[in-house]
Amino acid sequence: MQLNNLTFRGGVHFEDYKSLSNGAELQVMPAPDVITLPMAQHIGAPAKPIVKKGDHVDVGQKIAEPGGFVSAAIHASVSGEVKGIVDFVKTDGSKVPAIVIENDHQDTLGYTPVDRSHDDLTPEQIIDYVKEAGIVGMGGAGFPTHVKYMPPKDMTIDTIIINGAECEPYLTSDDLLMRTHPEKVVAGLKLIIKATGAKKILPWPPCRRNIRRAMKRISLLRLRACIFQPDSFRPVWVAWSPTRRRPVRLWMRCTTVNRFMSAS
């Protein structure tokens, strides 16, 4: 099946309203007095609680183990006392266990931060850290990230796509994150490259006007060579162009991992 056979007439381009927030600063919201943490904040099997009523927990302490291969650990976001494990009604009407914690507002840390700058971390260690941290995707499904880095043995990950396009109206969190903490974005990318063994990178899509400042900020980290002078360009299909009234291709900047590492 060819994409040029899938054209259709119509389509609109909505105002994105990103100017309402893309000039604001990132802020830390105050924590509530009581928090409820459902055991299904991800796709797959719900997590299994490993704490009980009356236990004291600290910030970042693991309070639930993954309930299966496609599942994720859950950690306390505040320090305080576990008040109980209750049934929590999800938006689809189903019920899952949830841990209720009364915040003591002490923010006592319950973990030792990992030094992610170590070059001697193995791919297995990186994936283990990601799994232990309970990291999941933020695109809606909440897919456990460590599973994405563990393809079947007969398959390999060739290219890492860094998607900061943020096509939805109003959303600017990725844009602000790239502009405010570009060094962390780059550090995370290096870890992903090592964990997956990928050979190519498709950096931030250049077609979005709203992230050009973020791209410029990233380039200050001596990455200009690989982002703006890539080794090659790769055609990527876009299903519909409201102005051209047909599918179009965008030529995405593509660079090799070796070039990225030497530039950064």
% of the chain beyond a pLDDT of 70: 70
Q: Which two tokens stand for residue 41?
A: 């904040």
Res 86 pLDDT > 60? yes
Q: What is the DSSP string of 134-197?
A: T-B-SSSS--BHHHHT---TT----EEE------SSS--HHHHHHHH-HHHHHHHHHHHHHHHT
Q: Do 226 and 201 contact (CB within 8 A), yes or no?
A: yes
pLDDT of residue 153: 86
pLDDT of residue 222: 43
* Euclidean distance between CA atoms 41 and 59, whole angstroms: 18
Cα separation of 134 and 153, whole Å? 23
Torsion angle defined by CA atoms of residues 106, 107, 110 and 114, in that order, rounded to the nearest 10 degrees: -150
pLDDT value at position 104? 97
Roughly how many angstroms between the first and final C-alpha of the chain, as a whole number? 40
43-73: b or e for each residue (b if 16 or more CB lie within 10 Å)?
bbbbbebebeeeeebbbbbbbbebbeeebbb
Confidence of residue 247 (pLDDT cuts 50, 70, 90): very low
Helix (H) or strand (E) holding 224: helix 224-228
Q: Assign residue 60 a region: left if phi > 0, alpha if psi is -120 to 50, beta otherwise? A: left
The pLDDT score that the predictor gives to residue 164 is: 76
- Give the model confidence (pLDDT) of 19-30 as tens digits: 898 888 888 889
Cα-based distances in Å from 1 to 4, 239, 249: 9, 14, 16
Give 152-156's long-range contacts (Cβ < 8 A, gap of 24+): 156/197
CA distance 21 to 91: 27
Which of 112, 142, 151, 126 shows the shortest CA–CA distance to 47?
A: 142
Residue 244 has pLDDT above 50, yes or no: no
- pLDDT tens digits, one per residue of 197-240: 888 777 655 445 555 666 656 555 544 434 433 344 343 433 33
- As beta bridge partners, residue 101 has 35, 82
Q: Residue 252 pLDDT more than 80? A: no
Q: What percent of the chain has a predicted confidence (pLDDT) above 90?
A: 36
